[in-house]
Amino acid sequence: MTQLPNSRTEPDGSPIIRVLSYNIRSMRDDTDALARVITACAPDLVLVQESPIFFRWRKQLARLASATDLVILTGGGTAAGPAVLCSLRATVEHTEDVLLPRTPGRHRRGFATAVVRFAGARLGVLGCHLSLHAGERYEQGGMLLDRLAGMGVEHAVAGGDLNERPGGPTFRRLAGALLDCRATAPWGAELTFPAAAPDRRIDAVFATKGIEVLGCGVPLGLPGISEADLRAATDHLPVLAALRVPAA
């Protein structure tokens, strides 16, 4: 596997950052394996889905952040599951948790959003976990794009568990407006679910079109990551992207 660029700042002030999207199934599995996988990815941003949302959820999420040398940026129970962790490279400008309209009898969904700075770049961030139901999911995809457009930033990243494959209408809607990072610069493995025997890609990282995608995929073979840890950590495989964000 080719090497994925490490986080750094280019001479022109443009940062290279690593963005990880990961469904952690409420930390119900092997949390030590989960922490090892996240740490080995060396991310600047982690877009978490299915973070704990019930009893002492803040304490559980804080424990994961501490174990991976990250801090909680936003989300968790207040966003109905999505959360964002970040490294100390990030300077936080603004955070907001967004609850989406709820269909009776279905899970509440939300977005974890923030605006951060890395070196000379200002970046919008959105983490999501879209509905299992096709019509509702498509509407949420439109809300995601509207939310990014309203963040007041030129460059943004979004990612999460889409509950849909690339050929689906919601995935195509997002990929038509944004860069599907995996399709733009394939790296690592492609399929993300289920972790034990993946047969579909339903997790993704997207970026606005001014961002340069240097590589994106499931970090199989990355130093420090074992297949045993990936299977034990949760039921999804993570998606890791290296992005170069233009300086302001």
Please tell me the predicted confidence (pLDDT) of residue 138.
98
CATH number of 13-244: 3.60.10.10
Q: What is the H or E stretch that residue 138 is in?
A: helix 134-149
Please tell me the predicted confidence (pLDDT) of residue 83.
98
Please tell me the predicted confidence (pLDDT) of residue 242.
98
Please tell me the predicted confidence (pLDDT) of residue 1.
62
What are the pLDDT tens digits along the chain (248 aa)? 679 999 999 999 999 999 999 999 999 999 999 999 999 999 999 999 999 999 899 999 999 999 999 999 999 999 999 999 999 999 999 999 999 998 898 999 999 999 999 999 999 999 999 999 999 999 999 999 999 999 999 999 999 999 999 999 999 999 999 999 999 999 999 999 999 999 999 999 999 999 999 999 999 999 999 999 999 999 999 999 999 999 98
Amino acid at 124: G
Asked if residue 140 lies in contact with residue 109, where contact means CB atoms within 8 angstroms, the answer is yes
Distances (CA, A) of 183 to 17, 172, 179: 18, 12, 8
Please tell me the predicted confidence (pLDDT) of residue 164.
98
Q: How many CA atoms lie within 13 A of 240 on its CB side?
A: 25
